[in-house]
Amino acid sequence: MQNPYLPYPVKIDEIITETEDKNLKTFKFVFINPADEQKFAYRAGQFAELSVTGKGEIPIGIASSPTEKGFVKFTVNKVGLVSSFLHNMKVGDVMGIRGPLGNSYPWDVLEGKNVVIIGGGFAFTTLRSSIIYMLDPVNRPKFRDINVIYGARTPGMLLYRDELAAWERRDDIHMHITVDATTDPDWKYNVGFVPTITEKKAPQADSDTYAIICGPPIMIKFTQPVLDKMGYGHDHIIMSLENRMKCGIGMCGRCNVGKEFVCKDGPVFTLAQLNTMPKEY
């Protein structure tokens, strides 16, 4: 019997401090047993349990894309016991990764469709995975227009700034980067909250256009009415939930929303699905 609680041993290969407040770091891991990389085959939108031996596990969205080989990447916010300890670990340290876990964004549904990605703050990790995946030369023809609305409090709080700049220069993805406010005279992108920019920049709804929203509750709360106004159907709005987790495989009982476990049946749900579930997240 395969033990679903046993993490694959990994080594920290690189650590990048992403944001000016230094609270977000991206960890690049390589598998100690190369065969484990195949077993960890994942889809954009899934997550994994990062296992810091002696401290515990944390569920984190996979920030790398399935099209990137040889490593996996996670961007971790410094919050509690495990993430704080992880922030102090160094390149070469050994830990574990358990997964991939959860469903993913519905790539079979999204194929041949326009995709609007709406992200805020540090919830951009699985959205990065999705963008890299869709922009892969093999995959790009499978999708129509791709729009990305991504906001943070300040320019220095945006994740993956070099990649954002590179995507800005491409003509096969429409980037709408925004910050809540800035005093930076060189800032050449949008200023304004994500819902406002969504209203201005997002394409009008049609049956072939899907929105993926991932961000803090306050952003979701004010973006959803905007999408409603623009005519997005609730089965065309895709969201990724978070809840406290331990097992990641639908067994330990804490992350349920109604009868669904966020870890196993989610974390991705359409708004139409969420409308039938208690608001317990």
Partner 1 sequence: MKVISIDKTEWANGIEKTKSIYRLFGPVKENTWHSFMPLGPGEQPDMAYGNSRLSPKFLVHPQTEPMFEYNLDEKQADHHVLKEIPKDVSPKAIIGIRPCDASAFLLVKRNFDTPTYKDPYWLTAYNSLTLIGYACNQPCSTCFCTTAGCGPFHEEGLDAILVDAGDRYLLKALTEKGEAYIQSAGWATSAPSDADQSIEKLKSTAEKAIASHVSTDKLRNQSTTQLYDAPFWEEIAFSCINCGTCTYSCPTCWCFDIQDENHGKCGVRMRNWDSCMYPLFSLHGTGHNPRGAKAHRVRQRFMHKLKYYVDKYDNGIQCVGCGRCIRLCPVNIDIRKVCNQMNSYDPAACVCPV
> Using CB under 8 A as the criterion, which residues of the chain lie in contact with partner 1 when the complex forms?
1-7, 9, 32, 51, 53-57, 77, 79-80, 83, 93-96, 217, 242-244, 246-247, 249-259, 264, 276-278, 280-281
Q: From the CB of 246, what's the least distance to partner 1, in Å?
A: 5
Q: From the CB of 202, what's the least distance to partner 1, in Å?
A: 27
Q: From the CB of 275, what's the least distance to partner 1, in Å?
A: 8
In the chain, DSSP finds a helix count (H) and a strand count (E) of 8, 15
Q: From the CB of 156, what's the least distance to partner 1, in Å?
A: 21
What is the spatial distance between Cα 98 and Cα 85, in angstroms, rounded to a whole number?
18
Tell me, what DSSP letter sits at residue 239?
E
Q: Strand, helix or coil at 60?
A: strand
Residue type present at position 79: V
Q: Which is nearer to partner 1, 92 or 141 (CB)?
A: 92
Q: Which is nearer to partner 1, 55 or 174 (CB)?
A: 55
Q: Which is nearer to partner 1, 17 or 53 (CB)?
A: 53
Tell me, what DSSP letter sits at residue 43?
-
Q: Which is nearer to partner 1, 77 or 178 (CB)?
A: 77
Q: Which is nearer to partner 1, 176 or 264 (CB)?
A: 264
Residues 6+ apart with CB under 8 A from 160: 18, 124, 128
Q: From the CB of 41, what's the least distance to partner 1, in Å?
A: 15
Q: From the CB of 68, what's the least distance to partner 1, in Å?
A: 25
Sheet strand arrangement including 237-240? 190-191, 174-179, 146-152, 114-120, 209-214, 237-240, 268-270
For 93, the token pair is 């340290």
Q: Strand, helix or coil at 266?
A: coil
E strand segments, 153-250: 174-179, 190-191, 209-214, 237-240
Q: Which is nearer to partner 1, 7 or 119 (CB)?
A: 7
| H helical segments located in the chain | 35-39, 81-87, 107-110, 125-135, 161-168, 194-201, 217-229, 271-275
End-to-end CA distance of the chain: 33
Q: From the CB of 253, what's the least distance to partner 1, in Å?
A: 3
Q: Which is nearer to partner 1, 109 or 252 (CB)?
A: 252
Structural contact between residues 267 and 47, judged by C-beta atoms closer than 8 angstroms? yes
